[in-house]
Every structure is written in structure tokens, then in C-alpha cells.
């Protein structure tokens, strides 16, 4: 597959969990992804971007996974055709046992979907064990060979996953002390009776079987997408959860005194804590001095494994490689700090306040040091990327040196039109965007175009109330509307519905000079759904699903005509 900025591409970003496939079990899976790839190819798109697909624990955020490598079993397509260890009877029995109508109609109900898919996969493993494994046939040999190639991460993950199931939580600090790290747990297991060890070995092999199935299916969908001329874009989060197999296996590479996050940003108006202090993601910082002793093996492995299932990968929060914002407290303590000033917060946090690591960009010397630090780390990732493409998510408050640095490393960055401004506050023309970039109106963290436009229109409409503050807000909203419209090449002389400008906004993004123009699925469809509100703890985060099944997108009365009118434009051939 040719991945060169010389050839412009268009694409769609959709969280996998949000897709509705023909045979899914309440959450988007590889089968739904196959349908999306076929649809995208038929529309002339050549990129399908996803959020991270690593396994998560009780927190369903894809950015708080329990492993930097393991794929989420929720993504496995569990049908007779996709996995030969499943029978129609198994599917029927388990679906009957877990069935709940709203599981198919509403958002993702993780409390039902996870046990359902786990139960089906367990029965598939039992059939595999009693059949191919016992016979030592070709599939058993393939499984055995695959496990041998995953020695650097799979056994440790399997042990962590079994312990997690044993104690019903990924929080290892709530486990017995003799099982809180891999080294301790292995020592504990060694002195157990032979019968106990045999049971644990079987349970660990079941975890490995699930990973084998997942990696085989994902490898298959990557090859299929490539055949259709569609590049799959994955996502590598900068951080990994504290309660993860990675920390369990290699605690020495993490600095748990600090919790990674991001400083306050004007773009996010969420809860009081986020506005005052920023986002506290809860991921431990890295001990780069320790990682460098192994030539960044842990990071190289992440990229190497992602290459097996994606053609392009986005490094979430690439700014963290240069310098990362750290909190001297865990997210669980955010509420107690939300109302404190800096003096009180410093006292409560043991004399520390949130700050950048290794340095703030407050002096030229610190900026030079941060740039050199980031480039050293990112060079290793570029080496591992090989013939594929690495994208850096460089949004937020971006130091001046970051974008030139990424360009020097041949790493594409992002362009969000509303954030790319000239000295006089006009939006930078899309024609002036550097080719080595990805243009998009929004990421999973931002409000959809429709929501933003309708908010502006409401503000404009309420500006005639006679109150000075409403008039000021109206003027600002008009300024935002006309500025964005001018960027996309049209005028807005009066209040208009979003549906009247939707297509023009899409065309504006497609016309920019960026290598890739990628639409959030909600922006392409013109809907107001939101998949994540930063800083909010709500069941709606990471669970919303697109109402229309992927198989019906081409026949939808509103969407189909729009895509037909965009036909040719989506191919982005100059």
C-alpha cells in the first residue's frame, strides 16, 4: 500500500464500539469494521481511523487500557463463520442467557456485553481444547507457534488477566501483597500444589487463546482493507494505565509519583477541576533513564505490534515525548483539589504542584533540552515504523519548536481549522497547510460541528434580548461563524440551519492541502452525538453508538445523496 504525502487521502474516524454490524453482540467488532472498510472504499475514501483497541478494565476508556499490547476481546467477531470453535448452539444459548433488547438498540451496555462475549469465548476455548489442542493438529500447532513469538508480553499479560479475574478488579493494590507484581506472583505460583498450578496454566492459556483469535482476526482485516485500497489508522496512547499488565510486569520503567495529564485549555469547558487544573489522566510517567538502557524496547515493541494490524498509527499526545504535564496526586483525589488555590494545593500535595516534566518551556535552554529529548525518543519510533506511517497528535497548547521538530522527523501533525490562525486572527487558509499534515474538524474529545454551529446560532438569536452581555456574545458568535464560513469558501449573511452549510463545510476540509482529510463520523453524518467529554465521569462516555447500522449507510435517505454529491471529491485527486 502506497502511503506517501504526495497522494492526498480522505477518511473517516469512528470508534469501533460505536459501529453497528450485522452480527455484532451489542458492541462494534471486527465484523462491523469489515463493513465500514467496504463502505469507505465504495465512497472513495482511503483511510479508516479508529481509537485505541487495547483491552480495558472496569474503566472503558480506550485511553486507559490494561495492556499496551493486548487487543480487546470485545473487538472479536464471534460468529460461526469467523471462529470455527463456535457452534450455532453456543451462540443461541448464550444470547438467550444474556439477552436484553436495549443491548442492541441503545449504547454499549458493558455490564452485559463483556460477560456475554467472555462466555462465548470461554466455550469456544473449551471446544478448541477438547478438539484441536488435544489432537495437536495444525491449528494447535499454529497457536503454539504464535504463543512462542509473543514471549516478551503474552505470559505476563495472561497472568495479570487471571489475577484480575480472580480478584474481580485490575487494581493490583487491592490484591494480596505476594501477587502485586509478576515476579511476586510467579514466586507464589511456584510453591502452589501441582493441581493448582495446572488450573492456573489452563486459565492463562485461555487468555492467550483469546488474544490469538483477536490478533488473527485483526491481521485478516488489515489484509482485507489493504486489498480494497483502504489504510487502517490505529492509535497509540502516550500513557498506559497504572493498573495495567505493563506496570505489573515492569514496574521499574514507571514513575508512579506523578500522574500524567494536560494543563487547562480554553477549548474545554467541563467540570471545575478541568477548568482550573487541567486533565488528570491517571497514567504514570515514564522513567526514560531506565527505558533507554534497553534501547526503548518497551516502546519499540508497542509500535512493532501495532504494525501487525494497522497501516498508519497516530501517537496520542505526541507532545508528551517532549515534555509531559504531571500531577502530584491520583485522579481519585481530583475533587478535593478542585476548589483549592495553589497555596492550599501545594500544602496538601506534599509541596508539589502540577508541572511539566522534564522541564517547562520557560527558558530557551529548557526548550532546547525538551526538543532534543523528544527527538531522541521519537527517532526510535520512526525506526520501528518502517514502511508504514506515523502521525503525531500535536493539538492543545503546542510549543513553537514541536511542529518544526515533527516535520524534521517526517511525522505528520494535525490541523484543526478553528485552531490554525494568522496574526490578525483570521483562520489560516487550508491551501496553506503543509502537505505533511492531517486535517480534521474534531477529534473524539471535541463537540461535533453540528453542536458547535447550533450553539453559535442560539447565541446569535438571543443577542437581541437588550442585555449588553448577550449582544457581546452575539457579536463573538457571528465572528466565529463568518470566520469559519470564509475559511470553507462561503458566506453566512443571516442565521441558517446547520443542514444548509453542512456540505460546504465538508467540501472546505476536502479542499485543503493536507495529506489526509479525516472526518469524525458525526461530522460527516451531521449528527450531535458525542463519544467523550474530557474530565466528565459519565456512563455516556465511550458508550454512544451510531444509530444506523453500517450496512444501511449507503441506503440512508439523507446520507446517501450527500455522499453521491461528494463522489469524486472524496478521492482528493488534484
Spatial separation of the C-alpha atoms in residues 92 and 95, rounded to whole Å: 5
Residues of the chain where predicted confidence (pLDDT) is lower than 70:
100-102, 266-270, 535-539, 574
Q: b/e map of 347-366 (b: 16 or more CB within 10 Å)? A: eebeeeebebbebebeeeeb
Instruction: Identify the H or E element spanning 439.
Output: strand 437-439
pLDDT at 1: 81
Q: What is the spatial distance between Cα 5 and Cα 505, in angstroms, rounded to a whole number?
A: 23
* 260 domain residue, yes or no: no
What domain range includes position 517? 437-533
Residues 272, 538 contacting (CB under 8 angstroms): no
Q: What is the pLDDT of residue 170?
A: 97
pLDDT of residue 538: 62
Is 465 within a domain? Answer: yes
3-state secondary structure of 39: helix
**Model pTM above 0.75:** yes
In the prediction, which pLDDT does 267 show?
Answer: 60
Determine phi and psi for 49, rounding to 5 degrees. Answer: -100, 140
Q: How far apart are CA 331 and CA 243, in angstroms?
A: 13
**Closest by CA position to 30, among listed 231, 183, 213:** 213
Residue 511 lies in a domain: yes
The bridge status of strand 254-262 relative to strand 279-286 is: antiparallel
- Residue 203 located in a structural domain: no
Tell me how far apart the alpha carbons of residues 276 and 265 are, in angstroms, rounded to a whole number.
Answer: 9
Count each helix (H run) and each strand (E run) in the chain, helices first. Answer: 22, 12
Question: What is the pLDDT, as a whole number, of residue 574?
Answer: 64
Determine whether 493 is exposed, middle or buried from the number of CB atoms within 10 Å of its CB (0-12, 13-18, 19+): exposed
pLDDT number for residue 101: 67
Q: Is residue 162 part of a domain?
A: no
Beta carbons of 273 and 334 less than 8 angstroms apart? yes
In a domain, 309, yes or no: no
Cis peptide before 358 (omega within 30 of 0): yes
Q: Is residue 182 part of a domain?
A: no
Closest by Cα among 368, 436, 357 to 403: 436
Backbone angles phi, psi at 429, to 5 degrees: -60, 140
Radius of gyration of the chain (CA): 24
427-453 as b/e: b if 16+ CB within 10 A: bebbeebeebbbbbbbbbbbbbbbbbb
Distance CA 325, CA 278 (A): 9
Total domains in the fold of the chain: 1
| Assigned domain for 345 exists | no
Compute CA distances 292 → 171, 296, 300, 378, 541, whole Å.
Answer: 28, 5, 11, 12, 36
For residue 375, count other CB atoms closer than 10 A to its CB.
Answer: 17
Q: What tens digit of pLDDT does each residue of 177-206 get?
A: 999 999 999 999 999 999 999 999 999 999
Return phi, psi of residue 236, to 5°: -110, 105
Amino acid at each position: 500500500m502506497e502511503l506517501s504525502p504526495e497522494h492526498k487521502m480522505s477518511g473517516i474516524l469512528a470508534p469501533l464500539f460505536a459501529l453497528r454490524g450485522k452480527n455484532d453482540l451489542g458492541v462494534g467488532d471486527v465484523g462491523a469494521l469489515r463493513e465500514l472498510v467496504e463502505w469507505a472504499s465504495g465512497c472513495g475514501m482511503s483511510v479508516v481511523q479508529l481509537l485505541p483497541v487495547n483491552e480495558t478494565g472496569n474503566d472503558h476508556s480506550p485511553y486507559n487500557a490494561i495492556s499496551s499490547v493486548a487487543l480487546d476481546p470485545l473487538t472479536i467477531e464471534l460468529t460461526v463463520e469467523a471462529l470455527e470453535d463456535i457452534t450455532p448452539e453456543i451462540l443461541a444459548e448464550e444470547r438467550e442467557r444474556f439477552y436484553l433488547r436495549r443491548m442492541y438498540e441503545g449504547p454499549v451496555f458493558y455490564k452485559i456485553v463483556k460477560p456475554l462475549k467472555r462466555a462465548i469465548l470461554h466455550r469456544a476455548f473449551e471446544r478448541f481444547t477438547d478438539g484441536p489442542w488435544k489432537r495437536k493438529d495444525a491449528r494447535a500447532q499454529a497457536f503454539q507457534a504464535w504463543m512462542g513469538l509473543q514471549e516478551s508480553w503474552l505470559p505476563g499479560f495472561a497472568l495479570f488477566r487471571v489475577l484480575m479475574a480472580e480478584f474481580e478488579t485490575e487494581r493490583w493494590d487491592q490484591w494480596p501483597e505476594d501477587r502485586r507484581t509478576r515476579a511476586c506472583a510467579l514466586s507464589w505460583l511456584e510453591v502452589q500444589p501441582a493441581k493448582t498450578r495446572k488450573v492456573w496454566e489452563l486459565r492463562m492459556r485461555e487468555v492467550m487463546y483469546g488474544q490469538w483469535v483477536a490478533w488473527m482476526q485483526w491481521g485478516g482485516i488489515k489484509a482485507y482493507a489493504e486489498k480494497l485500497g483502504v489504510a487502517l489508522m490505529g492509535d497509540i496512547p502516550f500513557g498506559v494505565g497504572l493498573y495495567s499488565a505493563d506496570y505489573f510486569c515492569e514496574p521499574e520503567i514507571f514513575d508512579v509519583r506523578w500522574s500524567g495529564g494536560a494543563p487547562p485549555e480554553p477549548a474545554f469547558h467541563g467540570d471545575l477541576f478541568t477548568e482550573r487544573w487541567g486533565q488528570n489522566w491517571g497514567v504514570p510517567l515514564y522513567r526514560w533513564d531506565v527505558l533507554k538502557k534497553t534501547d526503548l524496547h518497551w516502546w519499540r515493541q508497542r509500535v512493532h505490534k501495532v504494525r501487525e494490524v494497522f497501516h498508519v498509527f497516530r501517537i496520542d499526545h505526541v507532545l508528551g515525548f517532549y515534555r509531559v504535564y504531571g500531577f502530584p496526586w491520583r485522579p481519585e483525589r481530583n475533587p478535593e483539589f478542585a476548589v483549592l488555590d495553589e497555596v492550599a494545593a501545594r500544602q496538601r500535595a506534599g509541596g508539589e504542584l502540577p508541572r511539566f516534566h522534564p522541564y517547562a518551556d520557560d527558558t530557551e535552554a529548557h526548550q532546547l533540552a525538551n526538543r532534543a529529548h523528544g527527538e531522541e525518543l521519537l527517532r526510535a519510533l520512526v525506526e520501528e515504523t518502517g514502511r508504514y506511517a506515523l502521525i503525531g497528535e500535536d493539538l492543545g497548547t503546542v510549543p513553537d519548536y514541536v511542529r518544526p521538530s515533527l516535520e524534521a522527523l517526517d511525522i505528520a501533525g494535525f490541523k484543526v481549522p478553528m485552531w490554525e490562525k494568522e496574526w490578525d486572527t483570521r483562520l489560516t487558509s487550508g491551501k496553506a497547510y503543509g502537505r505533511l499534515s492531517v486535517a480534521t474538524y474534531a477529534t473524539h474529545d471535541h463537540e461535533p460541528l453540528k453542536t458547535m454551529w447550533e450553539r453559535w446560532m442560539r447565541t446569535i438569536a438571543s443577542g437581541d434580548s437588550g442585555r449588553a452581555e448577550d449582544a457581546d456574545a452575539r457579536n463573538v458568535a457571528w465572528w466565529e461563524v463568518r470566520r469559519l464560513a470564509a475559511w470553507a469558501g462561503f458566506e453566512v449573511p443571516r442565521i441558517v440551519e446547520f443542514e444548509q452549510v453542512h456540505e460546504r463545510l465538508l467540501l472546505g476540509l476536502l479542499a485543503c492541502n493536507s495529506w489526509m482529510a479525516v472526518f469524525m463520523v458525526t461530522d460527516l453524518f451531521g449528527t450531535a452525538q458525542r463519544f467523550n467529554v474530557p474530565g466528565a465521569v459519565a456512563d455516556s462516555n465511550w458508550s454512544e453508538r451510531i444509530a444506523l447500522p453500517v450496512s444501511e449507510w449507503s441506503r440512508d435517505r439523507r446520507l446517501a445523496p450527500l455522499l453521491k454529491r461528494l463522489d469524486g471529491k472524496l478521492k482528493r485527486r488534484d
